[in-house]
Structure 1
Amino acid sequence: MEKLQNLLNEVIKKTDALKTAQALYSRQLAPKFNTFDYINTDELGLSRILADLLNPKGSHGQQESFLRLFIEHCLPNLNQAANWQSFIDHIKKTNVLVEETTWKSGTSRRMDIYLECKADGTSYGICIENKPYASDQFKQLQDYANELTNRNLSRWHLIYLNEYTDTPSEHSINSKELQALTAKNQFSALKFSDLIDWLKACQVECQNNSVTEFLAQLIKFIQKHFMGIEDMNMDKTVLEVMQQSDENIEASIQIANNLNELKKQLIQKLIQDLKAEFSKNYDKGSYQLDISNLGDGKNYEQVNLISPSFNNGYICFEFQSANFDRPCLGFKFNTRAEVNSFINAENMKTALENNLSNKKIWKSPLWPAGYYFSPQDWRSSSKAWLMIRDGEMASKIMKEMDAMFQILNGNGCFNG
């Protein structure tokens, strides 16, 4: 126990010193500034950014160098494949499209990023399905695979870009079909964190200072929003302390082994706080609180408000990732059929946009309207967990869920 306490004391001492230094030199360092706080970083926005970087004719002016580095760092199986060498040799001929329609298969989907190239009588196609936030749509990856097949390309490849799952769901493509594509070198799964090495390589090769700084800002954005790294300097300082001695390494591992259990215990406290908050301050006649699917740390665990007068869907607070991370809040249906048959589904997004101007409202196949709950990072930041410990989180969750219910109900969104 003494070893653990000594480690914690040393980490606190070092990080406090770093915070003091950052405060003293904040005007020079601007540690919290990031260009991407002022840029549209929804799915389409990120697709446009990545597409322009991959485009040999992109505004970055570095010709095909970024695309070549992407193939080398992110798609080594293609880079080393004999039947893709003509593409590598003629990579500067590549055209890059955003939101390319699946015209050949007639499914009316849009491929987020599509790369096409013809060289030496051989046609190549690469589809990048960009999934930074939303879940997979029904048969989405299967439809893209069919589209690439139907285009009669000599070689094609499908990329699934998502930070939180290694493969798309069965909802999107059958596992046997996915295995077959992988075996034929037609599928790769990439994480946003996998892009870091590529972007750093681009920085090294880039010959323009403005573009180099943009790449640095994009790296910081990915580290913060997809990897939970708020401050690389802080991480470096903590790691140095952890490695100072055998005792510190041993204590660090003991702390890591107990971290998930600590989170589960705090979630149990949150559950009790939510029950108490609901019982004390909210109208049981309007809706009921359901916390039956929360506590294990699995993907998509939820807190729900279920109205007895509307059984097609429910107000939902849901963790999008395992181990209680990336919560969102919105209205959720059980099936796509319920969404498609409900006449007021589209009005829900409009109602929230009009009444929650400080939130970025989005929609997905099962969610006609929702937003990402703040604090968003529950994986590596202590903020959310301290709020639970201090009894503040249950009140915040219930207040925002009730506000959403009142807005939707008041705008007649539950009618029909």
Structure 2
Amino acid sequence: MSAVQTLINEVSQKIHALEIAQALYSRQLSPDFNTFDYINTDELGLSRILAFLLDPQGNHAQQETFLKLFIEHCLPDMYEVSERQIFLNNIEKTEVFLEEVTGKSNSLRRMDIYLRCIVGNDSYGICIENKPYAVDQPNQLIDYYNELIAKGHTDPQIVYLSEYNDTPNPASVDTETLKCWIDKKQYSHLRFSDLTGWLKACQVECQNHSVSEFLTQLIKFIQKQFMGIEDMSESNAVLDIIKRNGATIDASIKVSNTINRMKKELITKLKIDLLAKCKTTDYKLDINDFGEGKNYEQINFIIPSYDAGYICFEFQGENFDRPCLGIKLWSIEEAKNNLHTEKMKTTLNTALADKKIWSSPLWPAGYYFYPQDWKGSSEAWLMINEDTMADKILEEMDIVFNTLKANDCFTKY
């Protein structure tokens, strides 16, 4: 038997044993329970959670401890700028605001999380732009930076929190300006996975059991939602097997090297299934921008009589991850002029009560498609292999299309 086959068999047996143990002791362990399954975890919900933890006056009652640890673990560059020493020495005076309107610069945007610290004549400001799922808007970070300047902050800082984008979209801040911010240490990029080290440090320092358990649940949510880790016990058990010796390490690398190829082959199968199963004449199925694994690849329903937008199934993460589905318009200008934008969201909210309908500049109405995790879970890939994924995608796109059509959302204006 090959080393690769031996590794796969051993991992399978270990996972099966863990599943049996979890089933036997499920009442004691509650392995599938997580508080965050019942908490709003859209962009605003996550911003509210982070703002709560960062606020020295927050009712977690741990004072400035969490904020101090956040800077130490996530923004260590702040200690290298002498102008920020006054802020670091008076961190307990920091005020935290959620959805702060950018009124000083007249751009009328909302900063997801805004931190302000005033010490005598010195004023310090940090804007945390939280991007768990949505895309950047034109001039968004530029406007936030200008707002911090307009508020009179010394040495302002932008923190861009996004798991999947290495840099902001150039439409949000141009490359030259971003480089200038980085050189002056006024910009930091964070991933949600980076937050786990901070949250674990907060657990160590936390003196309240309820708050500590909240941190535990938040870490589990981040590991599942953004890192693809469903079960740390399972992950650790597999890691122990992989690291056992040279043969298991070599075999695991060989397996890893075939994963992307397997996904590409299954995606090719999905495209064939979609074309074979789409038989409607009300729209045209477009899969030309789908199959490479790049950010924002799409499967589209092009509506012949409607040139403002289309029904879209889109992967918001690279390598086929985090799909969403809904109505998407061709341009932001079209979105501004479209009289049916609000009606589209209201219509889908009513018709699809089990979905969490959201909107963004290009999406009048969308929701996150289940299964959501195509990166760390096998569920979606098994559905493709078993010929059920194409049916699910086409059915849900068809429901969105027909719901909007029945409510006259595609009429000219």
TM-score (norm 1): 0.98
Q: What are the Cα deviations for residues 119-165 of structure 1, in whole angstroms up to 9, with x where unaligned?
A: 25321001101111111111101111111122221221110111101
Aligned to 2:185: 185
1:283 aligns with 2:280: yes
| CA contact 2:145–2:156 (8 Å) conserved in 1 | no
1:255-266 → structure 2 map (5 Å cutoff)? 255-266=255-266
AA matched with 2:393: I
For residues 81 and 172 of structure 2, the distance between their equivalents in structure 1, rounded to whole angstroms, comes to 27
| Alpha-carbon separation, structure 1, partners of 2:318 and 2:293 | 5
Question: Is 1:20 matched up with 2:20?
Answer: yes
Alignment of 1:302-341 (within 5 A): 302-341=298-337
1:379 is matched with which residue? Answer: 375
Partner of 1:354: 350
Moved more, 237-246 or 214-223: 237-246
Query: 8 Å contact 2:47–2:98 — kept in the other structure?
Result: yes
Given the alignment, which residue of 291, 297, 316 partners 1:295?
291
1:81 positional shift: 2.5
Distance (Å, rounded) in 2 between the aligned partners of 1:18 and 1:252: 20
Retained in 1: the 8 A contact 2:75–2:188? yes
Whichever residue aligns with residue 103 of structure 2, its letter is W
Partner Cα separation in structure 2 for residue 92 and residue 140 of structure 1: 29
Scaled by the length of structure 2, the TM-score of the pair is 0.98
Spell out the pairing of 1:186-201 with structure 2 (5 A cutoff).
186-201=186-201
What do the CA deviations read for 1:350-394 (whole angstroms, capped 9, x no partner)?
A: 111101011000001100000000000001110000100111100
CA distance in 2 between partners of 1:153 and 1:322 (Å):
36
Paired with 1:245 and 1:390, the residues of 2 have a C-alpha distance of: 35
Q: Is the 8 A contact 2:309 2:327 kept in 1?
A: yes
| 2:42 aligned with 1:45 | no
Amino acid at match of 1:393: M
RMSD: 0.9
- 2:251 partner amino acid: A
Which SS does the other structure have where 2:69 is aligned?
helix
Output one character per residue of 1:178-231: Cα deviation in whole Å (capped at 9) or x when no partner: 000111111101111111010000000000000000000011111111111111
Alpha-carbon distance between aligned partners in 1 of 2:114 and 2:172, rounded to the nearest angstrom: 19
CA distance in 1, matches of 2:106, 2:392: 45
Partner of 1:172: 172
Map 1:74-85 onto structure 2 (within 5 A).
74-85=74-85
Query: What is the CA-CA distance between 1:345 and the residue it aligns to?
Result: 1.2
Q: CA deviation at 1:114?
A: 0.6
CA contact (8 A) 1:86 1:120 kept: no
Q: Is the CA contact (8 Å cut-off) linking 2:322 and 2:368 kept in structure 1? A: yes
- The answer as to whether partners of 2:325 and 2:369 remain within 8 angstroms in 1 is yes
Aligned residue number for residue 98 of structure 1: 98
Q: Residues 307-329 of structure 1, C-alpha deviation per residue, up to 9 Å, x if partnerless?
A: 11112110000100111000000
- Which amino acid counterpart does residue 359 of structure 2 have in structure 1? K
CA deviation after TM superposition for structure 1 residue 245, in Å: 2.1
Kindly report which structure 2 residues correspond to 1:190-229, keeping only aligned pairs within 5 A, or say none: 190-229=190-229
What is the alpha-carbon distance in structure 2 between the residues aligned to residue 183 and residue 245 of structure 1? 44
CA contact (8 A) 1:98 1:111 kept: yes
Distance in 2 separating the partners of 1:283 and 1:184: 56
- 1:414 paired to 2:403: no
Do the aligned partners of 1:102 and 1:111 also contact (CA within 8 Å) in 2? yes
1:171 & 1:23 partners in 2: Cα distance?
50
Per mean C-alpha deviation after superposition, the further-off stretch among 181-190 and 81-90 is 81-90
Mark the runs of 5 or more structure 1 residues left unpaired by the alignment. Answer: none
Rounded to whole Å, the distance in 2 between the matches of 1:361 and 1:151 is 34
**Residue equivalent to 1:245:** 245
Following the alignment from structure 1 to structure 2, what is the Cα–Cα distance between the partners of residues 171 and 26? 49
Q: CA deviation at 1:295?
A: 1.0
Aligned length: 412
Query: Segments of 4+ in structure 1 off by > 4 A?
Result: none
Letter of the 2:160 partner, please give it: Y
